Chains A and B, each alone.
Chain A
């Protein structure tokens, strides 16, 4: 790891100022992505701005019909929160599938979204549920926020402060884990919302998380796994690597989407 200067702001405003003043400064929260890449010297930020001491950034609450999760809420906090379990149980389950227990004690929802790993779980939830990602500057829809592989529309002095999830009628997330890394080989989040149905896929797309509109239209007509009978997705644009070919991932998307719909309907 290369040398850096460590900063510990007490407020989001101070943190943003530190980012503005120090070129190439990086935000750290749980550190479970940033520290490993710094150890490998794939990243060498000269300044680290630690968000973990900012008060009130990790809260979870209901606001009207939306579940609001603070950016530094850990995966364990989300997985075990009674508020999340009541409002969107699929989201609590998703958080409980990330990494392992010790990793879940440190990793945060804001960090996961800002990193936009193409195999991370939270991006699928944000896209399927139509979440709003709130920063110190603005509010972003997932379609604006996620910009491809490890890329978001966050500006260099922009910090995620919370994520707002409108409560769906039904939802479920099914993940096919890479046995070694615990990341999603493919993960499918299905949400039946008041106005539409969304199917979001992580782990498979070469540009990161994406929606399967053909599945969504079929499910909007009839929200049953049978509505997806015989439906497939093309392997074009999907990842193929030593863990699985693009064709295998395409197959998994159809299988997991059916299972997710089954799980979502069983819960109701």
Chain B
């Protein structure tokens, strides 16, 4: 077993885990943060994207022990419970950026990371290039791209990062 201490969505977390535990398993099964999904489990689909120290990573391809001492942010950490949605979440709702919703948490975490890296004014081309690690099997991406462009612009006017 291995002892780990990390920050998840702003809260300190301590746990004693099997070193084999993947970060995504730890988040879902130990912390019950089930917003982060396991899709392919082979780092292809991006349903498990979370932020570690502010950078988008695939939580299925990282051991929870490797997050020890780091800061993790999941889809649950974007906006407080009961508070208005994060602008990127709101944009996905407004522009119908999801159908079944399975890929959405990963799409949104990838999109927020993209805005942090490339700013609030994103071309369709940039968004499509940057989404290469996130797969959606329902909508065909058109509305996801629209949502991200709108969410990126909305983030410029929001207090939520």
* Chain A interface (Cβ < 8 Å from any Cβ of B): 1-6, 8, 28, 31-32, 35-36, 39, 48, 50, 52-53, 76, 99-103, 105-106, 182
* A residues in contact with B61, CB < 8 Å: 31-32, 35-36, 106
5 contacts between A and B (CB under 8 A): A50-B66, A100-B133, A101-B133, A102-B46, A106-B61
Chain B residues lying within 8 Å of A106, measured Cβ to Cβ, are: 57-58, 61-62
Determine if B66 and A102 form an interchain contact, defined as CB atoms under 8 angstroms apart: no
Report the separation of the CA atoms of residues A1 and B20 in the bound assembly, to the nearest whole angstrom: 7
C-alpha spacing A28/B134, complex, angstroms: 25
Secondary structure type dominating chain B contacts: mixed
Least Cβ distance of A57 to chain B in Å?
A: 15
Contact partners of A1 in chain B: CB under 8 A: 20
Contact: B133 with A3, CB < 8 Å? Answer: no
Chain B residues closer than 8 Å to A100, beta-carbon distance: 46, 132-134
Is B42 an interface residue when CB atoms closer than 8 A count as contact?
A: yes
Chain B residue with Cβ nearest A29: B66
> Contacting A4 at CB < 8 Å: which of B20, B43, B113, B132?
B20
B95 contacts partner chain A, Cβ-Cβ < 8 Å: no
A-B CB contacts (within 8 Å), total count = 70
Alpha-carbon gap, A157 to B56, bound state (A)? 32
Q: Determine if B65 is an interface residue (Cβ-Cβ < 8 Å).
A: yes
Q: Give B34-67 interface residues, CB cut-off 8 Å to A.
A: 41-43, 46, 49, 52, 55-58, 61-63, 65-66
Q: Contact between A52 and B66 (Cβ–Cβ < 8 Å)?
A: yes
Q: Which of B46-90 contact A (CB under 8 A)?
A: 46, 49, 52, 55-58, 61-63, 65-66, 68-69
Query: Nearest chain-A residue to B130 (Cβ)?
Result: A101
B2 beta carbon closer than 8 Å to chain A: yes
Asked whether any CB of chain A lies closer than 8 Å to the CB of B101, the reply is no
Report if B104 contacts A (CB, 8 A): no
Q: A22 to B42: give the CA distance in the assembly, Å.
A: 28
A5 and B1 alpha carbons, distance in the complex (Å): 8
Answer whether residue B19 sits at the interface, using C-beta atoms and an 8 A cutoff. yes
Give Cα A5–Cα B42 distance, bound, in whole angstroms: 22
Chain B 97-131 interface 0/1 with A at a Cβ cutoff of 8 Å (1 = within): 00000000000001001100100000000000010
A31, B55: Cα distance in complex, Å: 16
Known: A32-B43, A48-B19. A6 touches B63 (CB 8 A): yes
B96 to chain A, nearest CB (A): 24
Chain B residues, CB < 8 A from A36:
42-43, 61
Q: Choose one: A4, A6, A76, A102; the contact of B110 (CB below 8 Å).
A: A102
Determine the residue in chain A with the shortest Cβ distance to B65: A6
How distant is B43 from chain A, measured CB to nearest CB, in Å? Answer: 6
Set of chain A residues within 8 Å of B117, measured between Cβ atoms: 101
B19 and A102: CB pair below 8 A? Answer: no
8 closest A-B pairs by CB: A100-B133, A6-B19, A105-B55, A102-B56, A100-B132, A102-B58, A1-B20, A102-B133
Chain B contacts of A76 at CB under 8 A? 55
- Tell me if A35 and B63 are in contact (CB < 8 A): yes
CA distance A265 to B41 in the complex (A): 42
A184 CB, min distance to chain B CBs, angstroms: 15
